[in-house]
Structure 1
Amino acid sequence: MLSASEDIFRYRSSSKKDKIMQKSITRNGFGLRFAILISLAVLISTLLFFDYSTFLHDPNNIFTFLLTKQENTLTILSDKTSLSNKIPDSDPCTGRYIYIQELPSRFNYDFIKNCDALIDGSDRQPNICPFLENYGFGLEVENSKGAMSNSSWYCTHQFTLEVIFHNRMKNYKCLTNDSSLASAIFVPFYAGLDISRFMFGNLNETVKDSLGRDLAKWLSRKREWKQMWGRDHFLVSGRIAWSYRRKIDNMSQWGSNFRLLPESMNMSMLAVEASSWKNDYAIPYPTPFHPSKDNEILLWQRKIRRHKRPYLFTFTGAPRPQLDDSLRGKIISHCLGSRFCKFLDCSQEDNCYNPIKFMNVFQSCVFCLQPPGDSHTRKSIFDSILAGCIPVFFDPASAYRQYLWHLPENGTKYSVYIPVRRVEEWNPNVENILRGFSEHEVLAMRKEVIKLIPRIIYADPRSKLMLEDAFDIAVKGMLERIERVREVIRNGSDPSVGFGEEDLDKFTF
C-alpha cells in the first residue's frame, strides 16, 4: 500500500508525463498536417507542369479518354454549332483531327473487288484493274532505263486519286475514332470509280445517280452529320468535279447529278479539277512518283536539275481529228513544224501510259506546252513539273485558278502564260515566244518548278516524310476551309450562304 507522499509523487510524475506527451502529440499533429500540405502542393505542381501531349496525341488512348470524357459541348440549334473544348491546346493534333466515316463496302471497296467492270476511258486497256494495285499507284516500274530513279515509280493512272487519297488518310497522324473530337469528317466514297461504270453507255439517269443518292441519304441519317449538317464533311474524286453536276436528265448525257443533291451541296469535294462551284477544290493529278523517304525526293531533284535538255519545247498528247481547228490541233501542227519541238503522240501504243516514255520526253525539254485537254486541266501538267519542265499555259483555268493551295500565286515564277481569247484567230509563233526568254530567266523558272515537286506528289502511305506532299497540303487546306465555316457559325451567321453556290468569276484571270 502506497503512502500518501508516494501517491502524491506518483500523481505529480504521471501528470508531468501526460503534459509532455500532450505537447509531443500537438507538435507531431502540426508536423503531420504540414507534411500533408507540402505533399499536396508538390502533387498539384506536378499535375500542372506535366507534359500530357504524349498521352493526348492519340484520342483513342485510354488515358486521354479518362481526361476528356464529358458530354459533347457541340450545340445543335437552328443549324448553328460551337467548337468543342474537349482537346487541350497542348495536343499537337488540336484542330487537325479527322474522323473517317466508315461506309458500307458498296460505296468503295466493292469497286476494287469488281474492277473488271470499270473501264479506264481508252481502248488500250480492257479495265482499270492493273492501276488499282499498290494502294492505287498501279504496277511498279521495275526497270526505268535511266529515265527515273531506282524505286518508288509506278504506272499511275490519272483517275485513281480517290483510292490513293483514302490509303494515305488511313495513315494520317491525327486520326480519331471519336467523331466529336474531329475537325473534319472524311467520306471515302469512290465517286470516280462509280461513274466509270457508265462512261460511254446510254444508261437511264436513275441508274447513273442511284449510288450517289443512296450515299447522301445514308450520311444524312448518321449522328456525325447533325453536328454541322455535313459542312465538316469532305470527299475526294479522281475525276473532274464537273462529272457530278449533270443538270439534264438524259440517257446520253455524261456524268451524275451527285453534287446537285441537297446533302452533297453541304459537303466539300477535292478533285483533280474543280468546277465553278465554291465547294469544289482542285488538287494535283497523281504522278508516277510515290516516294517513301525524303532523300528519294532530294536525289530526284538533283538529277533533273543537272539533266541536259536538247529540245526547246514539247507537246505530249493525243490529237483530236474531229476538232482540227481546236487549240490542241494548232499546237500539234506548230510542234510538228519546228525542229526545236519534240512531239509525243499519246494515241500511239502506250506512250502516255508508260512513265518511262513520257518522262524521258519531259526531261529532254525546257518547256512543256499545256493547252486544255478534254477539260481545263491535264495530268501532264504535274508529270512535266515532276520532270523539271517549265509548263506553258494558254488558259488560266488550267492551273492558275485551279490549284490555289499547291501552286504559287504568282504564276510567272514557274510558268509561261500565252493567252488565247479566240482560237480561230489565234496564231502566235510559240517557238519565238519561248526563245525570247533569257538563260537567266529560264534557270530561275526551272528552279521554282523543281522546288514545287514535293508539293505535287503523293507519297507512299507507309512513309513518314518531313516534307509536305500534295496530300498534306490538301488536308491542311480543307481543315482551314471547315474552320472558316465554324467561324461563320460562331459569329451567328448562316453557314449555308455562299457555301455551295456557283462562282461565275472563279476562272477569270
Structure 2
Amino acid sequence: MFSIVLVVFLCHLFFFSIDARPSSHHHSMKKIHSLVGESSSQDSCLGRYIYIHDLPMRFNQDLLTNCQVLTRSIDKTSMCEYVQNSGFGPQVISSEASDLWNSNWFWTNQFMLEVIFHDRMKKYECLTNDSLVASAIFVPYYAGLDLRRYLWGFNTSMRDSSGLDLINWLKQKPQWKTMWGKDHFLVSSRIARDFRRKSDWGSNFRFLPESKNLSMLTIESGPWKNDIAVPYPTSFHPSSDDQVLQWQNLMRTQNRPYLFSFAGASRTRQKNSTRKEIIRHCQSSNKLCKLLDCNSVGHECDDPLKLMNLFRSSIFCLQPPGDSLTRRSTFDSILAGCIPVFFHPGSAYTQYLWYLPKNYSNYSVFISANDLKLGKVRIEEKLVTVSKDEVASMREEVIRLIPRIIYGDRRSGLESVEDDAFDLAIEGVLKRVDRLRGSDL
C-alpha cells in the first residue's frame, strides 16, 4: 500500500513540476530531469545539466535591438551588421573558389562572442529549468558589448552601473545562495583586464566582491584564477563534422609559397613595438615573407577571404602582441593550417589551456621579442632552420587543432560539430564547478 501511495505522490510531483516551470520563450529545454524517469545510469545528462538565468533584457537582447549605440564613429562597419545570423555576421559571398567559400563562412566580429555563445547555450542538449539539479548556472550577460557603449566619452560611474545592477539582481535569486555564485559562469568578448579598472580605462565589474565568485570565459585571461581564456571566434562556422574534415584535408594539400607572413598594423604609438621589427624583417626577406598591411585604408584585414588566402599560402604566421597580448589572428592562422610564431608566452601558452597542447613546440615556434629587438635573432634565419619533417609534423598538429578552436553552427539543429570550442568550454566549466563544489564541502 505504501509503495502505491509513493508512486502516486511522485507522479503528482512530476506533473506539478512541469506545469510550474518558467515560460521564458528563449530558453527552450532539451532534456527534463524527471524524478520518475530513467535511472541515473541511463541519464546521459547526469552531471551536465545547466540552468540559464532569465535576465532582464537590458543585460543582453536590448543591446542587440539598439545595436547602433555599439558603433563608434571610427568603426568601418556598423556593429548592427555583425548581429545578424545569431552573431556570426553577414555570410561571405565570393565568386572565387566556391568549394572553399561555402555557406559556412561569415564576416564575424570578435565582439559577438557573447551572442554566439548565448545562442549555442539555448541549444545545449542538457538544459534544465530546475536549478536544483543543475551542475552549473549560465549568466547570459553581454559584458563586453555592454561595456563597449560606455568606454569612450562616459564617466566611470556609467561604465560600472550595469555590472553593479547585474550583481544586485543575481544576489536576490535563490540560485545564488547555493554556492554564492561559484557555480555561475558568463562569457566576455573583451579581455579580462577591461573589467578591472586601475585608472580610467574599463569597468570595475570583476573587482566587485560577488563578481569574484563568478567564472568568466574570456578571449584573454590574466593572472586571476576566476578567468578562463577561450578562442576568439573565427569566420568559419561549419554545421557538420564532414565540413570540418573537408576543410582540414584542403589545408593539408595547400601550396605554401611563402616561408612566413604577417597581417597587422605597425602600432606606431607604441614605443619599441615588436610589430615594427616584424614588418622590417618581412620587408627585407627577399620575397620569403608576405605582408598584409592593416594600416592601409579599407577592409582588407577584416576580409576573411583575403586573410585565409594569405595564411593558407604561408608555412609560418607571425603573431606578435597587439593592443593586448593575444590576437584573433592566432586562430585564423590555425584555421589555415599555418604554424603560429609567438613572441610572448602570454599570447597563447599561458592562455588557452583547455584548447592548446601543453608542449607548445609541437604546434608553434617561439622567438623572444627582446632578442628580436636587440638584433640577436632574425626571423628568416630562425624559421629556415626548422626541418621539413618538423614543419610537416607541426602543421599536422595545427590542422588537428582546427575543430577545437571553431564555434560550430547549430542553428539548423540537423547536424553538429562535436567537441568544438563551445563544447570544450562547457566541459571545462562543469569540471571547474565540480572541483569548486568539492572544495566547499
For the criterion TM > 0.5, the same-fold answer is yes
Describe the shift of the 1:425–1:351 C-alpha distance in structure 2 as closer, same or farther (beyond 3 A).
same
Partners of 1:415 and 1:302 in 2: CA distance: 20
Give the counterpart of 1:305 among 244, 252, 255.
252
> Quick one: distance in 2 between partners of 1:312 and 1:122?
34
Match runs of 1:26-45 below 5 Å: none
Counterpart CA distance in 1 for 2:272 and 2:42 is: 60
Where do residues 402-441 of structure 1 align in structure 2 (5 Å cutoff)? 402-421=351-370, 424-441=373-390
The residue type equivalent to 2:400 in the other structure is K
- 2:277 is equivalent to residue 330 of structure 1: yes
Deviation at 1:150, TM superposition (A): 1.8
SS of residue paired to 1:163: helix
Q: Is the 8 A contact 1:230 1:266 kept in 2?
A: yes
The one-letter code matched in structure 2 to 1:238 is S
Question: What's the CA shift for 1:59?
Answer: 5.0
Distance, in Å, in 1 between the alignment partners of 2:345 and 2:81 is: 34
Q: Distance in 2 between matches of 1:128 and 1:259?
A: 25
SS in structure 1 at match of 2:149: helix
The whole-number CA distance in structure 1 between the counterparts of 2:368 and 2:246 is 35
**Alignment correspondent of 1:49:** none
Q: Which residue of 2 aligns with 1:35?
A: none
Aligned-partner SS, 2:110: coil
Where 2:292 maps in the other structure, the secondary structure is strand
1:398 aligned partner? 347
Task: Judge conservation of contact 1:144–1:150 (CA < 8 Å) in 2.
Answer: no
1:380 and 2:320 aligned? no
Say which of 63, 79, 84 aligns to 1:111: 63
Q: CA deviation at 1:474?
A: 0.6
- Greater Cα radius of gyration, structure 1 or 2: 1
SS in 2 for 1:262: coil
State how far apart, in whole Å, the 2-side matches of 1:262 and 1:405 are.
26
Point out the more displaced range, 348-357 or 106-115: 348-357
Choose the corresponding residue for 1:210, options 121, 136, 161: 161
Describe the SS at the equivalent of 1:319.
coil
Alignment correspondent of 2:434: 483
Match of 1:141 in 2: 92
- The 5-angstrom pairing of residues 109-508 of structure 1 reads 109-119=61-71, 122-125=74-77, 127-143=78-94, 145-146=96-97, 148-201=100-153, 203-248=154-199, 253-323=200-270, 325-338=272-285, 339-348=287-296, 349-421=298-370, 424-462=373-411, 463=413, 464-465=415-416, 467-490=418-441
Query: Which residue identity does 1:143 align to in structure 2?
Result: S
1:72 paired residue number: none
Displacement of 1:204 in angstroms is 1.6
- Equivalent residue letter for 1:115: C
* Residue 60 of structure 1 pairs with residue 32 of structure 2: yes
1:97 lines up with 2:69 in the alignment: no
User: RMSD across aligned C-alpha pairs, in angstroms?
Assistant: 1.9
Moved over 3 A (4+): 65-68, 120-123, 421-424
Query: C-alpha distance in 2, partners of 1:334/1:427?
Result: 13
Shift of 1:122: 4.8
CA distance in 2, matches of 1:106, 1:212: 12
Paired residue type of 1:117? V
Count the aligned residue pairs. 409
Distance in 2 of aligned mates of 1:163 and 1:369: 29
Query: What is the CA-CA distance between 1:323 and the residue it aligns to?
Result: 2.5
Task: Report the 3-state secondary structure (helix = DSSP H, G, I; strand = E; otherwise coil) of the residue aligned with 2:395.
Answer: helix
What is residue 12 of structure 2 aligned with on the other side?
Answer: none
What does residue 82 of structure 1 align with? none
Paired-residue identity, %: 53
In 2, Cα distance between the equivalents of 1:485 and 1:120?
Answer: 40
- Give the stretch that moved more between structures: 180-189 or 140-149: 140-149
